[in-house]
């Protein structure tokens, strides 16, 4: 069941196409240099994965489909973060499709014809078959329906294409499951590892330490040399492995928020609008024409409006007027047309008739009326729905729409379903066609109100916008020679910084709509002032690229400034370690070391290796690790930690009871290791692939 729903929701992710552009280009050689079609084709390449091109003509619709799913899930309009997530989701899908396909071939993983038959119509159906052909209550697959669908595909080309898409997705999931099992079954935990893990989580240590904090040494007393930087860099080089290219840019933002004058003007306009609204004869039309936010002229349940007006409006009788009320960033005006009690939700079925195929709404109404008469005469509603309804999501379920609350259906459908009574058959037109609705059940009973609603946003005037744009343009002309920060400081503008922005990032600190700015930053060189004024939701922005970090191990010069605090602490660590070394000379106890160092002894109780948090210090991995590797009663050598340098003596360990169930411990560890290994395996496959990501040119 629901094959059309499946295709509508998932088909974009399972379309696989191979474009032979690279082969053709190789064969024609120099034609690339003079042939415009080849140049145009290259402009459509979102990226390449091991030489396989991802074309924007195929990639784009998948992004739109992903965005549509975000809208359906979260509601509202698309913001830059949602756009970036959608693009990244599709890109990750493309990566997985190409990379894993190669890996399956290398490993010899396939799905045989017999396996596919079993997954589609056998005793071990694919989760997709269960989802779209299964009974929601029992989970049992209607195999007769599966076979009917397959037979229809033999004579219906459109259905055959849909079946092929479904089978391709079933095969993909089956291969993925085989690969997952292969990886997980390659993971093994020994008895020794299980016992070590158990000890690390349960063995307790008690110790005393003397610490000298890095913060106790003034920064000005520490002189850093080039060798200090290079030593730290060489010891920690893997920390500077940049996973993807990044850009850093500085910017000045020119606000276009409404001024006091704008606020006064809008308030006066709203007050006049309120007077006209009070006397308007057609409330719904007046609201539709004048509101910035369109609220259907239908019955609404409490909780659907802005909290600032919701409670007030639902306490008013029919005929009341409320507002102007300012909240959020807008004025609200409400006319209460009617108040009544209504069901909270409705269970209904419908048959949707395509009016365009029957010659118009009137003829579709007559046809729906004839179906209504058949049902009233004893004909099965479910059979008629399966035969005549054009709604793919419900026809195969006998027209069943399930249970829905207000706001889930178009207004005409909702009004009919909520104002009728159980058992009613109602014919009603909507933007989708003509519906024959059967009201199965109505649940609950609460107050609803029919409202004419107007919302007017407080927005900046053209004068305010023009003034902000003029300031931004003047500043852009002044800083084109590169003296960005100096001129901004001179003019009293605050300079913001967007640090290490990735190519597909949908946000940047202080910027609410930065995608075009980020795209242009990736087309610019370091030090370039971007040559346009960028419009955000509430500001105009001028920006300059200040840093470019390529993918891979960054050179010392690129990270020198940011590692300076760590390098300084490393030098301080040497100084403090020498001080503690002197305190250790001739000392036989931790108390004597503390006395010589001018510090006190701090006792620590019940620390475990797997949670190296020391009270008062925070996470000190080296200190705790050294404690668990020491012998009780002996003074340690100085240990350079995160916050300071320490000398400790271990008082003793408390061992846990012997591991009671080694098998269970190993099983738990193998499960966690298996989950980690899947991500790690895919990461390695990506690192070994030749991936060129051009998404920033398109989004």
Closest CA to 438 of 352, 341, 356: 352
User: At 296, phi and psi to the nearest 5?
Assistant: -55, 140
**Coil vs helix vs strand at 617:** coil
Q: What is the pLDDT of residue 371?
A: 94
Q: What is the pLDDT of residue 301?
A: 84
Claim to verify: residue 143 and residue 267 sit in the same structural domain: no
Neighbours of 481 (CB within 10 A): 9
pLDDT above 50 (res 9)? no
Q: How many Å apart are CA 312 and CA 297, to the nearest integer?
A: 18
Burial class (CB in 10 A: 0-12, 13-18, 19+), 122: middle
Is-contact 119 170, C-beta < 8 A?
yes
Contacts of 378 (CB under 8 A, 6+ apart): none
pLDDT above 50 (res 135)? yes
Claim to verify: residue 390 and residue 300 sit in the same structural domain: no
pLDDT digits (tens, 9 = 90+) for 321-362: 999 999 988 999 999 999 999 999 999 999 999 988 888 999
pLDDT above 80 (res 555)? yes
pLDDT above 80 (res 163)? yes
Q: What is the pLDDT of residue 28?
A: 30
pLDDT above 80 (res 74)? no
Q: What is the pLDDT of residue 15?
A: 33
Enter the DSSP assignment of 554. P
**Coil vs helix vs strand at 683:** helix
pLDDT above 80 (res 445)? yes
**Coil vs helix vs strand at 266:** helix
Q: How many Å apart are CA 520 and CA 502, to the nearest integer?
A: 13
pLDDT digits (tens, 9 = 90+) for 491-547: 999 999 999 999 988 889 999 889 999 999 999 999 999 999 999 988 999 999 999
pLDDT above 70 (res 29)? no
Mean pLDDT value across residues 259-288: 94
Claim to verify: residue 564 and residue 649 sit in the same structural domain: yes
Residue 660 inside a domain? The answer is no
Q: How many Å apart are CA 205 and CA 487, to the nearest integer?
A: 59
- Structural tokens at position 122: 């056998």
Long-range contacts, stretch 290-295, CB < 8 angstroms, 24+ apart: 290/454, 290/456, 291/453, 291/454, 291/455, 291/456, 292/330, 292/455, 292/456, 292/457, 293/330, 293/453, 293/455, 293/457, 295/451, 295/453, 295/455
Q: How many Å apart are CA 413 and CA 417, to the nearest integer?
A: 6
- Structural tokens at position 82: 């949602």
Omega before residue 324 within 30° of 0, cis = yes
Between residues 140 and 344, the one the model is more confident about: 344
User: At 659, phi and psi to the nearest 5?
Assistant: -60, 120
Claim to verify: residue 395 and residue 488 sit in the same structural domain: no
Mean pLDDT value across residues 654-662: 92
Neighbours of 223 (CB within 10 A): 8
Q: What is the pLDDT of residue 19?
A: 26
pLDDT digits (tens, 9 = 90+) for 226-268: 999 999 999 999 999 998 999 999 999 999 999 999 999 999 9
Claim to verify: residue 573 and residue 505 sit in the same structural domain: no
pLDDT digits (tens, 9 = 90+) for 576-602: 999 999 999 999 999 999 999 999 999
Tell me which of 525, 550, 575 is where a domain ends: 550
Specify the residue for token string 């079933």.
170
Q: What is the pLDDT of residue 20?
A: 31
* Three-class HEC string of 171-205: HHHHHHHHHHHHHHHCCCCCHHHHHHHHHHHHCEE
Q: What is the pLDDT of residue 33?
A: 33
Claim to verify: residue 39 and residue 153 sit in the same structural domain: yes
Between residues 356 and 109, the one the model is more confident about: 109
Claim to verify: residue 153 and residue 219 sit in the same structural domain: no
Contacts of 247 (CB under 8 A, 6+ apart): 500, 501, 518, 521, 522, 545, 547, 548, 549
Q: What is the pLDDT of residue 160?
A: 84
pLDDT above 50 (res 40)? no
* Cα 398 off chain centre by: 36
Residue 147 inside a domain? The answer is yes
Q: What is the pLDDT of residue 76?
A: 65
Claim to verify: residue 30 and residue 161 sit in the same structural domain: yes
Residue 150 inside a domain? The answer is yes
**Coil vs helix vs strand at 28:** helix
Claim to verify: residue 540 and residue 568 sit in the same structural domain: no
pLDDT above 70 (res 438)? yes
Between residues 157 and 351, the one the model is more confident about: 351
Claim to verify: residue 506 and residue 643 sit in the same structural domain: no
Q: What is the pLDDT of residue 12?
A: 39
pLDDT above 70 (res 36)? no
User: At 508, phi and psi to the nearest 5?
Assistant: -155, 145
Burial class (CB in 10 A: 0-12, 13-18, 19+), 369: middle
Neighbours of 230 (CB within 10 A): 13
**Coil vs helix vs strand at 294:** coil
Q: How many Å apart are CA 302 and CA 419, to the nearest integer?
A: 17
Tell me which of 550, 568, 600 is where a domain ends: 550
Residues in the chain: 699
Residue 469 inside a domain? The answer is yes
Would you place residue 31 in the very low, low, confident or very high pLDDT band (cuts 50, 70, 90)?
Answer: very low
> Is the backbone of residue 303 left (phi > 0), alpha (psi -120 to 50) or beta?
left
Which residues constitute the domain of residue 269?
A: 260-341
Is-contact 427 361, C-beta < 8 A?
no
Residue 698 inside a domain? The answer is no
Claim to verify: residue 489 and residue 634 sit in the same structural domain: no
Is-contact 588 190, C-beta < 8 A?
no
Residue 448 inside a domain? The answer is no
Residue 587 inside a domain? The answer is yes
- Structural tokens at position 40: 């145009």
- What is the reported pTM? 0.67
Closest CA to 339 of 257, 446, 488: 446
Count of domains for the chain: 5
Mean pLDDT value across residues 53-79: 84
Closest CA to 439 of 395, 401, 408: 401
Burial class (CB in 10 A: 0-12, 13-18, 19+), 397: middle
CATH number for the domain spanning 357: value is 3.10.50.40
Q: What is the largest CA-CA distance in the chain?
A: 107
Claim to verify: residue 335 and residue 398 sit in the same structural domain: no
Q: How many Å apart are CA 12 and CA 64, to the nearest integer?
A: 9
Tell me which of 534, 550, 566 is where a domain ends: 550
* Three-class HEC string of 442-486: EECCEEEEEEEEEEEECCCCHHHHHHHHHHHHHHHHHHCCCCHHH
Q: How many Å apart are CA 213 and CA 640, to the nearest integer?
A: 10
Q: What is the pLDDT of residue 75?
A: 65
Q: What is the pLDDT of residue 334?
A: 95
User: At 535, phi and psi to the nearest 5?
Assistant: -100, 120
Q: How many Å apart are CA 626 and CA 604, to the nearest integer?
A: 14
Residue 427 inside a domain? The answer is yes
Contacts of 255 (CB under 8 A, 6+ apart): 468, 538, 539
The secondary element (H helix, E strand) that includes residue 207 is: strand 204-213
User: At 440, phi and psi to the nearest 5?
Assistant: -85, -45
Q: Round the average pLDDT of the chain to a whole number and report it.
A: 88
Would you place residue 404 in the very low, low, confident or very high pLDDT band (cuts 50, 70, 90)?
Answer: very high
Q: Which residues lie across from 648 on neighbouring strands?
A: 209
Burial string for 67-106 (b: 16+ CB within 10 Å, else e) reads beebeeeeeeeebbebbbbbbbbbbebbbbbbbbbebbee
Contacts of 647 (CB under 8 A, 6+ apart): 209, 210, 580, 583, 584, 590, 593, 635, 636, 637, 638, 639
Q: How many Å apart are CA 461 and CA 264, to the nearest integer?
A: 11
pLDDT above 70 (res 21)? no
Q: What is the pLDDT of residue 6?
A: 39
Q: What is the pLDDT of residue 37?
A: 36
């Amino acid at each position: 069941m629901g094959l059309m729903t499946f295709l509508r929701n998932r088909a974009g992710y399972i379309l696989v196409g191979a474009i032979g552009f690279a082969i053709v280009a190789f064969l024609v050689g120099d034609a690339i240099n003079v042939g415009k079609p080849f140049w145009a084709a290259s402009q459509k390449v979102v990226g390449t994965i091991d030489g396989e091109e991802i074309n924007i003509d195929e990639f784009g619709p998948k992004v739109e489909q992903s965005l549509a799913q975000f809208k359906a899930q979260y509601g509202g309009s698309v913001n830059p973060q949602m756009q970036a997530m959608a693009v990244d989701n599709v890109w990750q899908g493309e990566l997985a499709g190409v990379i894993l396909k190669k890996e399956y071939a290398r490993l010899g993983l396939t799905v045989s014809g017999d396996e596919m038959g079993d997954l589609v119509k056998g005793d071990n159906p694919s989760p997709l078959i269960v989802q779209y052909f299964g009974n929601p209550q029992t989970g049992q697959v209607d195999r007769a329906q599966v076979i009917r669908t397959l037979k229809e595909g033999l004579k219906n080309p459109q259905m055959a294409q849909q079946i092929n898409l479904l089978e391709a997705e079933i095969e993909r999931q089956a291969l993925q499951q085989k690969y997952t099992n292969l990886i997980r079954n390659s993971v093994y935990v020994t008895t020794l590892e299980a016992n070590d893990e158990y000890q690390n989580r349960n063995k307790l240590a008690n110790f005393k330490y003397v610490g000298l904090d890095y913060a106790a040494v003034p920064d000005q007393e520490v002189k850093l040399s080039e060798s200090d930087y290079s030593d730290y860099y060489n010891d920690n080089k893997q920390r500077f492995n940049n996973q993807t290219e990044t850009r850093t840019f500085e910017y000045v933002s020119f606000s276009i928020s409404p001024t006091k004058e704008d606020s006064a003007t809008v308030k006066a306009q709203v007050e006049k609008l309120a007077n006209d609204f009070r006397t308007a004869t057609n409330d719904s039309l007046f609201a539709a024409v004048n509101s910035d936010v369109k609220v259907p002229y239908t019955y609404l349940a409490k909780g659907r409006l802005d909290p600032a007006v919701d409670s007030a409006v639902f306490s008013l009788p029919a005929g009341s007027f409320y507002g102007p009320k300012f909240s959020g960033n807008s004025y609200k005006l409400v006319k209460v047309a009617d108040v009544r009690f209504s069901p909270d939700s409705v269970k209904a079925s419908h048959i949707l008739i395509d009016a365009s195929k029957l010659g118009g709404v009137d003829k579709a109404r007559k046809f729906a009326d004839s179906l209504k008469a058949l049902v009233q005469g004893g004909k099965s509603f479910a059979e008629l729905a399966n035969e005549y309804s054009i709604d793919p999501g419900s026809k195969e379920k006998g027209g069943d729409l399930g249970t829905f609350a207000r706001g889930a259906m178009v207004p005409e459908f909702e009004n009919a379903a909520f104002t009728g009574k159980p058992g009613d058959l109602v014919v009603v037109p909507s933007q989708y066609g003509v519906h024959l609705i059967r009201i199965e059940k109505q649940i609950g009973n609460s107050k609803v109100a029919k409202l004419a609603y107007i919302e007017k946003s407080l927005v900046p005037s053209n004068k305010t916008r023009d003034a902000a744009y003029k300031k931004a343009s003047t500043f852009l002309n002044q800083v084109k020679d590169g003296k960005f920060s100096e001129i901004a400081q001179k003019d009293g503008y605050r300079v913001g910084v967007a640090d290490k922005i990735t190519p597909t990032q949908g946000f940047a600190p202080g910027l609410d709509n930065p995608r075009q700015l980020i795209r242009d930053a990736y087309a610019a060189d370091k030090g370039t002032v971007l040559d346009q004024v960028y419009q955000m939701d509430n500001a105009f922005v001028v920006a300059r690229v200040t840093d470019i970090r390529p993918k891979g191990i960054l050179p010392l010069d690129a990270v020198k400034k940011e590692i300076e605090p760590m390098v300084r602490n490393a030098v301080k660590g040497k100084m403090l370690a020498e001080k503690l070394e002197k305190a250790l000379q001739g000392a036989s106890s931790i108390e004597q070391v503390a006395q010589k160092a001018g510090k006190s002894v701090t006792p620590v109780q019940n620390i475990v290796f797997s949670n190296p948090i020391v009270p008062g210090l925070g996470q000190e991995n080296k200190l705790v690790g050294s404690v668990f590797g020491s012998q009780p009663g002996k003074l340690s050598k100085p240990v350079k930690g995160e916050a300071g340098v320490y000398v400790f003596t271990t008082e003793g360990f408390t061992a846990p009871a012997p591991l009671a169930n080694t098998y269970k411990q190993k099983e738990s560890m193998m499960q966690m290791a298996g989950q980690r290994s899947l991500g790690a395996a895919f990461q390695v496959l990506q690192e070994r692939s030749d991936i060129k990501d051009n998404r920033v040119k398109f989004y």
